[in-house]
Chains A and B, each alone.
Chain A
């Protein structure tokens, strides 16, 4: 049974700060990693995907993957109040189509 673990939060950061969201996974064959943002009552939307070790940057977002440690993180630079949402980590193994989601981390960015 694949497991994806995230701190439920809330993670509170002031506006302009860096928010760091973490995720660990149990299945070593997990190969694709996704970060989704979900506003309350809305559907998840993809913000980052990462497939190889290292960092991947897209605007204010950076995803970091360390397969040896089974760890993936999301950094949000210059956090804005509009970034306040729940962030879901999801993993997928090669040869499988099913995404396994963590329970999400709530991020609160205060003005």
Chain B
């Protein structure tokens, strides 16, 4: 089954404690991205990757890091989380062509206290 898998689904952490949210896709997609979703603000792109070792900032990259060492994986790293990073996070992948739809992971609800 084609899918994008994120882990964990829920996470409560404390300010400043480094964390990683994993994302893996099994569709051999070149393009992967991370979004955060907040009430009233919609989906905002954090980072994206066009292929292995190619990443770039989205609209709200501050406080986040990513890496793309393998085609299937695209982890999101919060080196020093702060309460304003409390949000619902989605990983997505697509084939990278203009007509390709995006497939989303199940989401990770992060709370930073």
Contact = CB atoms under 8 A, between A and B. Distances in A.
Interface stretch (B18-26, B60-68, B100-108): B100-108
By secondary structure, the A interface counts as loop
Nearest to B99: A32
B55 to A, nearest CB: 12
**How large, as a class, is the contact surface on chain B?**
20 to 34
Contacts of A17: none
Given A41-B88, A42-B107, A97-B31, A34 B42 contact: no
Given A94-B98, A97-B48, A43 B105 contact: yes
Given A97-B96, A98-B48, A46 B101 contact: yes
B43 interface: yes
Nearest to B43: A101
A88 B43 contact: yes
Contact of B104 (A45, A49, A92, A97): A45
Contact of B50 (A8, A90, A97): A97
Nearest to B6: A43
Given A97-B31, A97-B48, A98-B48, A44 B99 contact: no
28 contacts: A8-B40, A34-B102, A41-B107, A41-B109, A43-B90, A43-B104, A44-B43, A44-B90, A44-B102, A46-B102, A49-B99, A88-B42, A88-B43, A97-B30, A97-B31, A97-B48, A97-B50, A97-B98, A97-B100, A98-B33, A98-B48, A98-B58, A99-B33, A99-B94, A101-B35, A101-B42, A103-B40, A103-B42
Interface of B: 30-31, 33, 35, 40-43, 45, 48, 50, 58, 88, 90, 92, 94, 96-107, 109
